[in-house]
Structure 1
Amino acid sequence: MNTFIFVFLLSTPGVTAVLHTMRYFYTASSDVPNFPEFVGIGYVDGFVIGHYDSNTRRAVPKQDWVKDALGEDYIESLTARAMDHQLRFKAHLENLNQRFNQTGGVHTFQNMHGCDWDDETGEVNGYDQYGYDGEDFINLNLNEQIWIAAKQQAFITKLNWDNDKAMMSYHKYYYTQECPEVMKKIMNVGRSFMMRTDVPSIQLLQRTPSSPVTCHATGFYPHYAEMFWRKDQEEKVLEGVDHGEILPNHDGSFQMSVDLNISLIRDEDWSRYDCVFQIKGVEEDLTVTLDKSVILSNWRKSDGGGGVAAVVVVAVLVLVAVVGFVTWNKCSPARCPSGFTGSHTSDTSSSSPGESDPNKETSEEQREMRTLIS
């Protein structure tokens, strides 16, 4: 049986980056115990702004200021859209079962769409990506205004969606104008919360005497941060270092870790190594020197560990989607792995933000509905 665990990973362009993101994740599933058949989650800069699932059947803002930013009418429209997506995704999932000659079992159909906005250059990028059972299915190339079939079974869908010119025109408008404008509204109203800077607590963790030492930082915000090991105060690439990804905490803050293979280090050289954390908005680095006496572990009883039982957690696992969805969220315009390059597009050929919606006569139903996968 497949394992349906979604690790939410954030693209981190570095501590000087000014790239803002708004992303929506939809997941339809079948035969997953104790999990809604449909879940939708919205994020701005990695912060959860709202949630919908097939059990509650309501789009619920994460914070009151999100509702203030969007307005009650917009929240209601999000609920209506999510309910529509729920019905369509269920139909997609059933049709894909047939297309892949599958009967029963655990399956997922997923979508990630949204936009990026650089508040210095004004560059906007949009993306719309679908996956089935943890693998790419079909992705939108907005610049070329075509869909890219990642599977042979997606080719029929590509032809149907390529021929829907009205919907493609709406995509162009939504991802280059409406999406970034909604993101800006949320960011402006929630500026005091989203533009804050929180420094983390940093600990050194170790599972066993022979395990790598993990430098773990948690509770920081925003996610524009870096962490690394250095030797003799010099920032250089070290052997035996494994960098983890930035992951979200339940309270909207973030965590990350970086491992150091101590088997490559002589005992007398430990004090030459430091774990360094850097975050946008804070000039001074936070450092922790490699020292056996401060390492927390559940195996050390009396050799300086003080009997402290450390909860060695270096990742947050959120039960939302399949492992294959991880790659989608890592993708950014600056670094996009093979298979996803068609989904990130510049707005160089789009209309300016001051122009009107080219599809203003298009009904809400037509704008929201795509040809079902069949």
Structure 2
Amino acid sequence: MRSVVLLLLGVQLAYAGTHSLKYLYTSVTGDPDLPEFTAVGLVDGVQFMYFDSNAKKAVPKREWIRQNVGEDYWERKTQNCIGDHQNIQILRQWFNLSQGVHTVQQMLGCEWDDQTGATEGFESFGYDGEDFLSLDLKEMRYISPVQQGSITVEKLNKDKGQIENNRNYFSTVCIEWLQKYVEYGKSSLQRKVSPQVSLLQKSSSSPVACHVTDFYPSGVTISWMKNGEEHHEDVDLGELLPNEDGTFQKTSTIRVSPEEWKNNKFSCVVQHQGETKTVDKRDSLPIMPIVGVLVAVVLLIAIGVIVFVVYKKKQGFKPVSGSDDGSNSSARPQA
């Protein structure tokens, strides 16, 4: 019998918080199996649009956006994404890429606290999985953590028109569209779905995985307890992954010998939106019977969402300019 402890801390905690609008762009060269360019739009971590350079058309990924915007919106979004693709091609020239497979990943967006009204913008991008450039919003200038980025920084910071465009985008355009999107999708975005928690183990000598899935919103904390005390040794926390239905999944794995697992009381504690669930080793299940289910879930995830996972793992990102649909597209100065 699964041991579950629920601690409800109130409705306000469940709904208060910061909303986010993010655009993730990935350019890949040297790999014929992937589109050269993909664009993903997310509101509160949920994908609502997708574009790639093969299809050359922006498409909705959630019913709430499909119902609230017209065809002109998608035509505009398509042209913006085509422009973003061209921008990245210019950036690639600045990077002076060598032969082989390379990635340029870019991310921009904004956050809005629906309780305090506070807002914040962010923009950065990376090359081959490493941070390359970011926009300092206080100084309104680009900075780079690596020496190789100095030439690109100098070129971007000389474009005063683009800098002013950035200022308008992050302070006004992005926030206005984020608020629209939150209103469009409020029945979905403001819902609360409690997580399903399972302990999975392939064999007695394998690591034990605490698999948390089907929860929304995305904020979740997973921790381990040993004999009633917090345990951090040999624990690995996995990435947050999206499910096809808009919920999320995440896994924390603990490496422990069969003897230690048998002779001690280990528990996985999951906290989500004011609710706490605890499962212990009596709830362990063999992992093999459910592998097919997990693989099926992954296969159902759109390639645009996969780009999001790559971004989270590699921390790479994108440059800027304002548009009237919350994305950011304009031609960069030629190299």
Q: 1:188 to 1:16 in 2, by over 3 A?
A: closer
Q: In the alignment, which residue of structure 2 is the partner of 1:20?
A: 19
Pick the aligned partner of 1:295 from 275, 285, 289. Answer: 285
Q: In the alignment, which residue of structure 1 is the partner of 2:256?
A: 262
Residue 124 of structure 1: how far off its partner (Å): 1.4
Pick the aligned partner of 1:148 from 140, 143, 146. Answer: 143
Deviations, residues 43-67 of structure 1 (Å, cap 9, x unaligned): 1111001000111111111123213
Provide structure 2 residue ranges, at least 5 long, that are not aligned to the other structure: 1-12
Pick the aligned partner of 1:249 from 243, 250, 253. Answer: 243
For residues 127 and 279 of structure 1, what CA distance do their matches in structure 2 show?
Answer: 26
Q: In the alignment, which residue of structure 2 is the partner of 1:326?
A: 313
Q: 1:239 to 1:134 in 2, by over 3 A?
A: closer
Q: In the alignment, which residue of structure 1 is the partner of 2:9?
A: none
Q: 1:269 to 1:164 in 2, by over 3 A?
A: same
In the TM superposition, 1:154-303 aligns within 5 A as 154-233=149-228, 236-263=230-257, 266=260, 269-270=263-264, 272-280=265-273, 283=275, 285-291=276-282, 294-298=284-288
Residue 371 of structure 1: how far off its partner (Å): 1.6
For residues 122 and 276 of structure 1, what CA distance do their matches in structure 2 show?
Answer: 33
For residues 312 and 225 of structure 2, what CA distance do their matches in structure 1 show?
Answer: 32
Letter in 1 for 2:35: P
Deviations, residues 198-245 of structure 1 (Å, cap 9, x unaligned): 1222221123322221110111111122222224555x3443433333
Q: In the alignment, which residue of structure 1 is the partner of 2:331?
A: 369
Q: 1:132 to 1:288 in 2, by over 3 A?
A: same
Aligned residues: 310
Residue 322 of structure 1: how far off its partner (Å): 9.4
Q: 1:319 to 1:185 in 2, by over 3 A?
A: closer
Letter in 2 for 1:320: V
Letter in 2 for 1:42: G
Deviations, residues 73-95 of structure 1 (Å, cap 9, x unaligned): 333221111111122323432x1
Q: In the alignment, which residue of structure 1 is the partner of 2:4?
A: none
For residues 192 and 306 of structure 2, what CA distance do their matches in structure 1 show?
Answer: 28
**Cα pair 2:105 2:311 within 8 Å, conserved:** no
Q: 1:17 to 1:202 in 2, by over 3 A?
A: same
Residue 188 of structure 1: how far off its partner (Å): 1.0
Pick the aligned partner of 1:115 from 110, 114, 126. Answer: 110
In the TM superposition, 1:54-65 aligns within 5 A as 54-65=53-64
**Cα pair 1:134 1:325 within 8 Å, conserved:** no
In the TM superposition, 1:38-57 aligns within 5 A as 38-57=37-56
**Cα pair 1:20 1:45 within 8 Å, conserved:** yes
**Cα pair 1:15 1:225 within 8 Å, conserved:** no
Letter in 2 for 1:143: K
**Could you say what secondary structure the match of 1:368 adopts?**
coil
For residues 163 and 80 of structure 2, what CA distance do their matches in structure 1 show?
Answer: 18
> TM-score when scaled to structure 1?
0.73
Provide structure 1 residue ranges, at least 5 long, that are not aligned to the other structure: 1-13, 299-307, 332-342, 344-358, 361-365
Q: 1:64 to 1:247 in 2, by over 3 A?
A: closer
Residue 133 of structure 1: how far off its partner (Å): 2.1
For residues 203 and 218 of structure 1, what CA distance do their matches in structure 2 show?
Answer: 9
In the TM superposition, 1:337-348 aligns within 5 A as none
For residues 15 and 183 of structure 2, what CA distance do their matches in structure 1 show?
Answer: 20
For residues 309 and 285 of structure 2, what CA distance do their matches in structure 1 show?
Answer: 33
Q: In the alignment, which residue of structure 2 is the partner of 1:303?
A: none
For residues 261 and 185 of structure 2, what CA distance do their matches in structure 1 show?
Answer: 48
Q: In the alignment, which residue of structure 2 is the partner of 1:355?
A: none
> TM-score when scaled to structure 2?
0.80
Q: 1:17 to 1:327 in 2, by over 3 A?
A: farther
**Cα pair 2:197 2:213 within 8 Å, conserved:** yes
Question: Going by fraction, where is helix more abundant, 1 or 2?
Answer: 2
